[in-house]
Structure 1
């Protein structure tokens, strides 16, 4: 008999729902069905059917936007004000998939460039890559699922989706909406399962593409075990750096850094984590950030006035507490916070000059902590910013065009924001980590490209 996992609200740890956990036998059947669909080209869904399903999906989601937002807040602890934005982004993501279907075209390949190719014409088409298995993270429980599943639907790939066990209800709701919108159930399978079963599913030879959002340790391990021929995209975390120079407008940057650092209590892969400020400005920057952080309301994410919700599990509060205590013992100054507020919440925290070898300086915090460091030479700030084995997004605050362009060139990041926080994103831009932070590129259009492959026809006239 299948097990059942209870889903808890991360603030009060009360049960809000339950989901059935699938066994390997269940998932093996799903893989067979999905693989059979892809192998039988006569069953492929034409573009107009996929567009119709996605249009209906966006319409249904729009009509249930508030319910979806409350579900995100309830199971994931994301403040309702931000959960509503996540729902809007998710709907936009579905609609973006429709737009990208229209761009999913091949091209003509010139053949008469040499005598050997003369007398032929050639063109390419994009075909679905095969069965997609998508494993997702807890921190955006609806929008991440949309970014992984909707592109699979849009490209005509059968998909098996595994949400985080902490936040499966939003995924379940989205899959049910796809069915309601007209997607035949065999094209999308909800595979809530334990880690050992998930690994067996992901590494199965019937999988054509593996999409993973989560920890680097797990992602790279799974990539090393993929079956030959399985393509993949991995999205992990970072410890996003911010460079401030002497010309920067401090008052203008504080609200941006506060949002970028404490959005979803810092549980975002590109959260502001390491802020480097000139020694003559560092006290002012840290103090003003502390004032803004201390004014944030912490509590139950379902309360529309709350700005920082709980961490996803009590164990994460324990970990953040240990990391901050370690930094303070090493000489960091607590400008605000530095303490847990309860079993499930931690105070928004600003640390000034933590040791370079402290966990808060070398690893992704994934909690409500921002570190501020002083520097005397801008090149030393770049060196510190680039010192870690992972890199994602970064930012620079300056009024100098020279400094801005220097930062764009010298910061080791896939995207450098000028006069904005590191967590900025729109869903049609490329979104990816470098080094240990990821593999391949996210973003709706980029994901759809990865889920398809070229086929060329060469016609001899």
Structure 2
């Protein structure tokens, strides 16, 4: 008999549901069936059928939008107002996959550029890459699944999805909707499983593409163990930097920094963590942000008036508390928060000038903590922003076009937001980490491209 995993609300630890855990024999069978489906080219799902399935899935999601939002808030602790936005984005993501199916086209390759190629015509087409295994994270329990699973369906790949064990219910609901929309069950399998089973699945040679969202330590380890030929995409995190210059309109800046810093209690891979402001105005920037942080309501994410919910596990509150305490002992000034509010919540926290070597300065805290630093020259700010081994999205606030263009050129990041926070994203833009922050590029269209491969046909006339 399969073990059953109880899923709890991270705020009060009450049970909100349960799922059956898959053992290796279950997953091995899933892989076998999925690999057989892929190898049987006559049985591949045609584009029109994939479009029909995804259209019906989006329709079902729209009809269950409030139910899905409450599920996100209940199992993941994301405030209801933000959970509703996540559902809307997830629906848009499915519809974007439908659009991208029509973009999966090849091109003519000119052959008569040399005498050796003359007398031939050639063209390419895109084919599914193989069985996709997707391992996901807890912080966007529906939208991340959509970003990993719906592109696989669009590309025509059989897919097995392993959700974060903290938040499997949204994933299970999405897979069920795909099945009810007409996707044969073997084309998308739900595999909630422990890490040892998941690793064995991921490194299996039957896997054509591995999609991972989670910690860098785990992601890079798994990549090193992939079977020869398995392609992958890794999405990790960072400690996103923001530069504020002396021309910035602080009345516009502070609300954006507040949202970017404390959205989902900082449990976002591109959450604002490091803010650099001119030495002459750093105290003002820090205090204004602290005032905004202090006004945020912390509590049960199911309460529509709550701005910041719990951290995903009580042990994460312990860790954040330890990191902040270390920073304060090393000289950081607490301007807001700096304390736990209960077993599962931590106050939105603003730290002024933590030490450069403090963990809050050099590692992703993944909690409701933002650090403010002073700088003397803009070049110093760029150097500090670029000083870590990982990089994802970054931002600059300025009214000076030269400064904006300089930031775009100088910041070592895959995205530079001008006059916006680092957590901004739309689902059709490229989304990727540099260096230790990730491998390959996310975004619906980019993911579908990675889950397909070119085939060329050359015809001698």
Output aligned runs, 1:37-436, within 5 Å: 37-436=37-436
After superposing on structure 2, the runs of 4+ consecutive aligned residues of structure 1 that deviate more than 2 Å are none
TM-score by length of 1: 1.00
Structure 1 residue 449 displacement after superposition: 0.1
Distance in structure 2 (CA, Å) of the matches to 1:377 and 1:44: 58
Structure 1 residue 150 displacement after superposition: 0.1
Distance in structure 2 (CA, Å) of the matches to 1:353 and 1:116: 66
Structure 1 residue 268 displacement after superposition: 0.1
Structure 1 residue 255 displacement after superposition: 0.3
What does the per-residue CA deviation read over 1:306-328, in whole Å, with 9 as the maximum and x for residues that have no partner?
01000000000000000000000
Distance in structure 1 (CA, Å) of the matches to 2:160 and 2:399: 48
Distance in structure 2 (CA, Å) of the matches to 1:207 and 1:283: 53
Match of 1:306, SS?
coil
Match of 2:425, SS?
coil
Structure 1 residue 4 displacement after superposition: 1.0
Structure 1 residue 418 displacement after superposition: 0.3
Distance in structure 1 (CA, Å) of the matches to 2:405 and 2:313: 40
Match of 1:123, SS?
strand
Structure 1 residue 242 displacement after superposition: 0.3
Distance in structure 2 (CA, Å) of the matches to 1:244 and 1:306: 28
Match of 1:425, SS?
coil
Match of 1:189, SS?
strand
Match of 2:238, SS?
coil
Distance in structure 1 (CA, Å) of the matches to 2:355 and 2:114: 63
Distance in structure 2 (CA, Å) of the matches to 1:382 and 1:329: 27
Paired positions, count: 461
**5+ residue gaps in structure 2?**
none
Per the alignment, residue 442 of structure 1 pairs with 442
What does the per-residue CA deviation read over 1:378-421, in whole Å, with 9 as the maximum and x for residues that have no partner?
11111111110000000000000000000001111000000000
Query: Cα RMSD between the aligned structures?
Result: 0.4
Distance in structure 1 (CA, Å) of the matches to 2:302 and 2:251: 30
Match of 1:268, SS?
coil
Distance in structure 2 (CA, Å) of the matches to 1:132 and 1:258: 37
Structure 1 residue 202 displacement after superposition: 0.1
What does the per-residue CA deviation read over 1:89-140, in whole Å, with 9 as the maximum and x for residues that have no partner?
0000000000000111000000011111111000000000000000000000
Structure 1 residue 74 displacement after superposition: 0.1
TM-score by length of 2: 1.00
